[in-house]
A and B are shown apart, each in its own frame.
Chain A
């Protein structure tokens, strides 16, 4: 004997008519995201991204100045220099952006700091060819998710989806 179709049965609940009846308002999901450019090419990508409104997202670049420091220093897109540990204090997602393997050492420092703090990491490699392949190799140990794309629009798409 087949079961009758009832209001709370899947056959009814999964119809387009029933799809109207969602609770008003989206679930509250507040990400605190840091987008970090690991090299000069990535810095250009991140600055273009930062020109758009992104609630809860901070944009940072690694810009080596040749000085020795105990901890990694990053530069916000407004030029302010900040410590990595301060930027990660209340973060739960770090997206590293690279265009080559120049930032391998920085990725290691960020990846280890994130692991210690339980922060989700992702690596976005913008470009193709040998430079991108080298960047993938450099980031692989430190990013839980890696995405390679010749199209920097993918950075925006990823940030829209998870930021």
Chain B
């Protein structure tokens, strides 16, 4: 269990909160690049860390993330016209560039300089891979851009989707650190999903339902090693990296693309889940890409034209009790992503951790919370930059490997968990 004040410390990410300030040290995903598909395209409403903004790509291709509301009368700039180097408010025509600088106040005389004195709060928006990233913190402490491998491999080797999850970011993240649920909740997916099935590792996963856990610190966060019995004298290890504050990677299976997530708080009761798949040394095949777009693997299907999952709490996630009885799915919910989301949302908007009873298998979660708390308080009290801000901390990978029982997983896998360009993943 966690005391209430600690639960609040970890789950509240609005301006001025310790965890909110922690998140504001990092580049975080603001939206997918596909949401601003061309120069001068319509603006997009974005809410992150409880702040409302609009994202724009201006006529010159520059990106920006502005306060959503016009400095004049407070109307939403989402209605605005994206024209000639700026976004013009639909109400009275005040116009802003991507930095939030006002360019025109039409009610003023023709050669007035008043617009120079009007400035909206704005944040940087940069494209790295298929994601537009922002930094909502102090510009003087802005780190170099993200170096996660999945956003730096050639575009034909990577695919990213996102979905709206209707719960606090932390309970969603904790699902990504918790490997022990895989053998239960996702057991059918290991057998049937086109992006999971067919690996030797799946057999180990399904044959040993009582795994052992080892959690070790990394520069950017943690490595969570989970071992299951393999052949005589050997263990099957699955190693999940967590980079603070919210990046995790799922250990690979056979030659399938490798996947992972970034959880980004929208507000304290909603988050975005950015989900990626990539192959380090080859292009994704057309079949793999189609499977991802169709919602297989860790992706999902959508309400048409939106980033809300087709299976959502309004339709009981399309629960299929017959499929559950038959064993086609363990929870009755189709798809790995929505199996996770349905249960994480079922905990409530912010799970009450004073009532939980963790077990030793949750050691990764326990350690992650501890690190987040320490980092948030060290930042607040001493201004210490948290782990994971340095882009060097991003150059990690998940790994799956069979090792002799006496071997230390991290000693044996030091190269395997380093993101090395041109080198394939260590997989079973």
Interface centre among A13, A21, A115, A144 (most CB of B within 10 A): A21
Q: Are B108 and A120 in contact (CB under 8 A)?
A: yes
> With A23-B53, A27-B71, A115-B109 in contact, is A6–B164 under 8 Å at CB?
yes
Which stretch from A28-36, A40-48, A124-132 is at the chain B interface? A28-36
Q: Residue A24 at the B interface, CB < 8 A?
A: yes
> With A4-B308, A22-B69, A119-B109 in contact, is A31–B45 under 8 Å at CB?
no
Q: Are A92 and B267 in contact (CB under 8 A)?
A: no
User: What residues on B are CB-neighbors of A93 within 8 Å?
Assistant: 114
Q: Are B305 and A3 in contact (CB under 8 A)?
A: yes
Of the residues A8, A22, A23, A25, contact of B45 by C-beta under 8 Å:
A8
Of the residues B16, B112, B119, contact of A119 by C-beta under 8 Å:
B112
User: What residues on A are CB-neighbors of B360 within 8 Å?
Assistant: none
Q: Residue A118 at the B interface, CB < 8 A?
A: yes
Q: Are A118 and B16 in contact (CB under 8 A)?
A: no
Contact with A along B9-52 (1 / 0, CB 8 A): 00000011000000000000000000000000000111100111
User: What residues on A are CB-neighbors of B52 within 8 Å?
Assistant: 13, 18, 21-23
Q: Residue B373 at the A interface, CB < 8 A?
A: no
Secondary structure of the A contact surface, majority rule: loop
> With A7-B47, A7-B270 in contact, is A25–B111 under 8 Å at CB?
no
**Closest CB in chain B relative to A85 CB, distance in Å:** 16
Q: Are B51 and A24 in contact (CB under 8 A)?
A: yes
User: What residues on A are CB-neighbors of B46 within 8 Å?
Assistant: 8
Q: Are A24 and B15 in contact (CB under 8 A)?
A: yes
Instruction: Please count how many residues in chain B sit with their CB below 8 Å of the partner chain's CB atoms.
Output: 39
Q: Are A23 and B121 in contact (CB under 8 A)?
A: yes
Of the residues B76, B107, B108, contact of A118 by C-beta under 8 Å:
B108
Q: Are A4 and B53 in contact (CB under 8 A)?
A: no
- Tell me which residues from 80 to 136 in chain A have a Cβ below 8 Å from any Cβ of chain B: 92-93, 114-115, 117-120
User: What residues on B are CB-neighbors of A120 within 8 Å?
Assistant: 107-109, 112, 114
User: What residues on A are CB-neighbors of B406 within 8 Å?
Assistant: none
**Closest CB in chain B relative to A46 CB, distance in Å:** 22
Q: Are B111 and A31 in contact (CB under 8 A)?
A: no
Residue in A closest to B166 when the chains form the complex, CB atoms: A7
Q: Which 5 A-B pairs have the closest CB atoms?
A: A118-B111, A27-B71, A8-B45, A118-B112, A28-B119
Q: A21-B52, A27-B121 are known; give 7 further A-B pairs, CB within 8 A.
A: A3-B306, A23-B53, A27-B120, A29-B71, A92-B112, A92-B117, A119-B112
Q: List 22 A-B contacts (CB under 8 A).
A: A4-B308, A7-B270, A8-B44, A8-B45, A8-B47, A10-B78, A13-B45, A18-B52, A21-B51, A22-B52, A23-B52, A23-B53, A23-B121, A27-B100, A27-B118, A92-B112, A118-B109, A118-B110, A118-B111, A120-B107, A120-B112, A144-B109
